[in-house]
Protein backbone atom coordinates (compact mmCIF):
# COMPACT_ATOMS: atom_id res chain seq x y z
CA UNK A 1 0.00 0.00 0.00
CA UNK A 2 1.33 3.41 -0.98
CA UNK A 3 2.31 5.75 1.83
CA UNK A 4 -0.25 8.53 2.28
CA UNK A 5 0.64 12.20 2.48
CA UNK A 6 -0.10 12.38 6.21
CA UNK A 7 1.97 9.29 6.99
CA UNK A 8 4.88 10.54 4.88
CA UNK A 9 4.74 13.95 6.56
CA UNK A 10 4.80 12.34 10.01
CA UNK A 11 7.69 10.06 9.07
CA UNK A 12 9.74 12.95 7.69
CA UNK A 13 9.15 15.10 10.76
CA UNK A 14 9.95 12.26 13.12
CA UNK A 15 13.17 11.56 11.21
CA UNK A 16 14.08 15.25 11.50
CA UNK A 17 13.40 15.10 15.25
CA UNK A 18 15.59 12.01 15.70
CA UNK A 19 18.41 13.64 13.74
CA UNK A 20 18.13 16.84 15.79
CA UNK A 21 18.00 14.88 19.05
CA UNK A 22 21.12 12.90 18.20
CA UNK A 23 23.01 16.11 17.34
CA UNK A 24 21.95 17.86 20.53
CA UNK A 25 22.61 14.84 22.73
CA UNK A 26 26.12 14.62 21.27
CA UNK A 27 26.82 18.34 21.61
CA UNK A 28 25.39 19.18 25.03
CA UNK A 29 24.47 15.86 26.62
CA UNK A 30 21.19 14.08 27.15
CA UNK A 31 20.29 15.67 30.48
CA UNK A 32 20.88 19.24 29.27
CA UNK A 33 18.77 18.80 26.14
CA UNK A 34 15.09 19.73 26.26
CA UNK A 35 12.28 18.54 24.04
CA UNK A 36 11.71 22.17 23.04
CA UNK A 37 15.29 22.49 21.77
CA UNK A 38 14.84 19.33 19.73
CA UNK A 39 11.65 20.65 18.15
CA UNK A 40 13.28 23.99 17.31
CA UNK A 41 16.34 22.37 15.76
CA UNK A 42 14.16 19.99 13.76
CA UNK A 43 12.02 22.86 12.53
CA UNK A 44 8.74 21.43 13.77
CA UNK A 45 6.20 22.63 16.31
CA UNK A 46 6.52 21.56 19.93
CA UNK A 47 2.93 20.34 19.96
CA UNK A 48 3.55 18.33 16.81
CA UNK A 49 6.58 16.65 18.35
CA UNK A 50 4.62 15.84 21.50
CA UNK A 51 1.98 14.19 19.34
CA UNK A 52 4.68 11.78 18.11
CA UNK A 53 6.64 11.12 21.32
CA UNK A 54 5.83 11.91 24.97
CA UNK A 55 9.40 12.87 25.96
CA UNK A 56 13.06 12.90 24.94
CA UNK A 57 13.53 9.46 26.50
CA UNK A 58 11.25 7.98 23.87
CA UNK A 59 13.26 9.74 21.15
CA UNK A 60 16.45 8.20 22.55
CA UNK A 61 14.73 4.81 22.49
CA UNK A 62 13.66 5.30 18.88
CA UNK A 63 17.18 6.27 17.81
CA UNK A 64 18.71 3.17 19.35
CA UNK A 65 15.87 0.83 18.45
CA UNK A 66 16.49 1.64 14.80
CA UNK A 67 20.26 1.37 15.16
CA UNK A 68 20.18 -1.82 17.22
CA UNK A 69 17.68 -3.51 14.94
CA UNK A 70 19.92 -2.93 11.92
CA UNK A 71 23.02 -4.16 13.76
CA UNK A 72 21.23 -7.18 15.19
CA UNK A 73 19.65 -8.11 11.85
CA UNK A 74 23.08 -8.04 10.20
CA UNK A 75 24.64 -10.08 13.02
CA UNK A 76 22.03 -12.84 12.83
CA UNK A 77 22.07 -12.83 9.02
CA UNK A 78 25.84 -13.42 9.01
CA UNK A 79 25.73 -16.10 11.72
CA UNK A 80 27.01 -19.46 10.37
CA UNK A 81 24.35 -22.17 10.57
CA UNK A 82 26.62 -24.69 12.32
CA UNK A 83 28.17 -22.36 14.90
CA UNK A 84 28.08 -23.41 18.57
CA UNK A 85 26.05 -21.47 21.14
CA UNK A 86 28.97 -19.63 22.77
CA UNK A 87 30.49 -18.61 19.43
CA UNK A 88 27.08 -17.52 18.18
CA UNK A 89 26.50 -15.38 21.26
CA UNK A 90 29.94 -13.78 20.94
CA UNK A 91 29.20 -13.03 17.29
CA UNK A 92 25.96 -11.23 18.17
CA UNK A 93 27.21 -9.48 21.32
CA UNK A 94 30.43 -8.45 19.59
CA UNK A 95 28.44 -6.74 16.84
CA UNK A 96 26.47 -4.82 19.47
CA UNK A 97 29.62 -3.62 21.22
CA UNK A 98 31.19 -2.55 17.94
CA UNK A 99 28.09 -0.43 17.34
CA UNK A 100 28.33 1.14 20.81
CA UNK A 101 31.99 1.97 20.22
CA UNK A 102 31.04 4.31 17.38
CA UNK A 103 29.25 6.66 19.81
CA UNK A 104 30.22 5.62 23.36
CA UNK A 105 28.84 8.62 25.25
CA UNK A 106 25.36 8.47 23.74
CA UNK A 107 25.43 4.68 24.00
CA UNK A 108 26.29 4.97 27.69
CA UNK A 109 23.30 7.27 28.17
CA UNK A 110 21.05 4.78 26.41
CA UNK A 111 22.32 1.93 28.58
CA UNK A 112 21.74 3.95 31.74
CA UNK A 113 18.21 4.84 30.65
CA UNK A 114 17.57 1.18 29.83
CA UNK A 115 18.83 -0.21 33.14
CA UNK A 116 17.71 2.67 35.39
CA UNK A 117 14.92 4.39 33.47
CA UNK A 118 13.67 7.73 34.70
CA UNK A 119 10.66 7.38 32.43
CA UNK A 120 9.18 4.29 30.80
CA UNK A 121 8.88 3.62 27.10
CA UNK A 122 7.08 0.98 25.06
CA UNK A 123 9.84 1.13 22.44
CA UNK A 124 12.38 0.05 25.06
CA UNK A 125 10.18 -2.77 26.34
CA UNK A 126 9.54 -4.03 22.82
CA UNK A 127 13.26 -3.89 22.12
CA UNK A 128 14.03 -5.99 25.20
CA UNK A 129 11.45 -8.58 24.18
CA UNK A 130 12.95 -8.75 20.69
CA UNK A 131 16.49 -9.24 21.98
CA UNK A 132 15.52 -12.02 24.39
CA UNK A 133 13.31 -13.78 21.85
CA UNK A 134 16.14 -13.95 19.33
CA UNK A 135 18.63 -15.15 21.93
CA UNK A 136 16.11 -17.78 23.03
CA UNK A 137 16.05 -18.93 19.42
CA UNK A 138 19.81 -19.55 19.57
CA UNK A 139 19.33 -21.58 22.76
CA UNK A 140 16.50 -23.56 21.16
CA UNK A 141 18.68 -24.46 18.18
CA UNK A 142 21.49 -25.46 20.55
CA UNK A 143 19.00 -27.69 22.36
CA UNK A 144 17.98 -29.32 19.08
CA UNK A 145 21.67 -30.05 18.37
CA UNK A 146 22.08 -31.66 21.78
CA UNK A 147 24.45 -28.92 22.93
CA UNK A 148 21.98 -27.87 25.63
CA UNK A 149 19.87 -30.15 27.82
CA UNK A 150 16.26 -30.80 26.83
CA UNK A 151 15.06 -29.59 30.24
CA UNK A 152 16.53 -26.12 29.66
CA UNK A 153 13.88 -23.45 29.09
CA UNK A 154 15.22 -21.27 26.22
CA UNK A 155 13.87 -17.92 27.40
CA UNK A 156 15.17 -18.42 30.95
CA UNK A 157 18.59 -19.38 29.60
CA UNK A 158 18.56 -16.40 27.21
CA UNK A 159 17.82 -14.08 30.13
CA UNK A 160 20.82 -15.44 32.05
CA UNK A 161 23.11 -15.17 29.04
CA UNK A 162 22.02 -11.62 28.27
CA UNK A 163 22.55 -10.73 31.92
CA UNK A 164 26.18 -11.84 31.64
CA UNK A 165 26.59 -9.68 28.55
CA UNK A 166 25.15 -6.64 30.33
CA UNK A 167 27.43 -7.15 33.33
CA UNK A 168 30.54 -7.20 31.15
CA UNK A 169 29.19 -4.34 29.04
CA UNK A 170 29.01 -2.15 32.15
CA UNK A 171 32.66 -2.94 32.82
CA UNK A 172 33.58 -2.10 29.23
CA UNK A 173 31.80 1.25 29.43
CA UNK A 174 33.61 1.86 32.72
CA UNK A 175 36.99 1.46 31.02
CA UNK A 176 37.65 -2.11 32.13
CA UNK A 177 39.71 -3.17 29.12
CA UNK A 178 39.29 -2.88 25.37
CA UNK A 179 36.81 -4.69 23.14
CA UNK A 180 39.03 -7.75 22.69
CA UNK A 181 39.44 -8.07 26.46
CA UNK A 182 35.69 -7.60 26.91
CA UNK A 183 34.98 -10.47 24.52
CA UNK A 184 37.51 -12.75 26.22
CA UNK A 185 36.04 -12.12 29.68
CA UNK A 186 32.55 -12.63 28.29
CA UNK A 187 33.64 -15.89 26.66
CA UNK A 188 34.85 -17.24 30.00
CA UNK A 189 31.55 -16.33 31.67
CA UNK A 190 29.47 -17.84 28.87
CA UNK A 191 31.50 -21.06 28.93
CA UNK A 192 31.00 -21.28 32.68
CA UNK A 193 27.24 -20.81 32.21
CA UNK A 194 27.27 -23.56 29.58
CA UNK A 195 28.35 -26.08 32.21
CA UNK A 196 24.90 -25.77 33.74
CA UNK A 197 23.08 -25.86 30.39
CA UNK A 198 24.71 -28.95 28.88
CA UNK A 199 22.86 -32.28 28.93
CA UNK A 200 23.36 -34.25 32.15
CA UNK A 201 25.84 -37.12 31.89
CA UNK A 202 24.46 -40.67 32.07
CA UNK A 203 24.21 -41.85 35.67
CA UNK A 204 24.20 -38.35 37.15
CA UNK A 205 21.30 -37.03 39.19
CA UNK A 206 18.67 -35.55 36.88
CA UNK A 207 18.21 -31.81 37.07
CA UNK A 208 14.82 -30.52 38.01
CA UNK A 209 12.73 -29.22 35.13
CA UNK A 210 9.60 -27.14 35.19
CA UNK A 211 6.37 -29.08 35.01
Q: Domain of 37: which CATH number?
A: 1.10.10.60
48 Cβ neighbours under 8 A, 6+ residues apart: 13, 39
Give yes or no: residues 60 and 41 share one domain. no
pTM: 0.81
180 or 68: which carries more pLDDT confidence? 180
CA separation for the pair 117, 123 (Å, rounded): 13
* Strand residue runs (E) in the chain: none
- Report for 21-25, 80-84, 152-156: range of highest mean pLDDT: 152-156
Domain of residue 188: give its range.
56-197
Residues 167-195: pLDDT tens digits?
A: 999 999 988 889 999 999 999 999 999 99
162 or 208: which carries more pLDDT confidence? 162
Looking at the structure of the chain, the number of domains it has is 2
pLDDT at 199: 86
- Cα 152 to chain centroid, rounded: 23
Give yes or no: residues 18 and 92 share one domain. no
Give yes or no: residues 18 and 88 share one domain. no
CA separation for the pair 210, 78 (Å, rounded): 34
Give yes or no: residues 99 and 9 share one domain. no
Last residue of a domain, one of 15, 30, 52: 52
* 211 belongs to a structural domain: no
pLDDT at 103: 85
Residues 25-47: pLDDT tens digits?
A: 888 888 899 999 999 999 999 99
pLDDT at residue 102 tops 50: yes
Give yes or no: residues 61 and 25 share one domain. no
Give yes or no: residues 37 and 96 share one domain. no
Give yes or no: residues 64 and 44 share one domain. no
Residues 191-207: pLDDT tens digits?
A: 999 998 888 776 555 55
Nearest Cα neighbor of 18 from 48, 54, 63 is 63
* 162 belongs to a structural domain: yes
Give yes or no: residues 89 and 136 share one domain. yes
Average confidence (pLDDT) over 130-143: 95
CA separation for the pair 142, 147 (Å, rounded): 5
Give yes or no: residues 97 and 175 share one domain. yes
pLDDT at 89: 98
35 Cβ neighbours under 8 A, 6+ residues apart: 46, 49, 50, 55, 56, 59
Mean pLDDT of the chain: 88
What letter does residue 199 receive in the DSSP assignment? P
Amino acid sequence: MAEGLRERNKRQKLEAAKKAARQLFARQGFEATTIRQIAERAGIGLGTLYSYVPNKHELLDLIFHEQWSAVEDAAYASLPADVGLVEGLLHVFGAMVDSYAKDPELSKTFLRETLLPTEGGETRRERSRQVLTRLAGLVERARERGEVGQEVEPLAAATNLFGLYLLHLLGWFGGLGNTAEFLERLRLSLELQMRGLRPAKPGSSPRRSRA
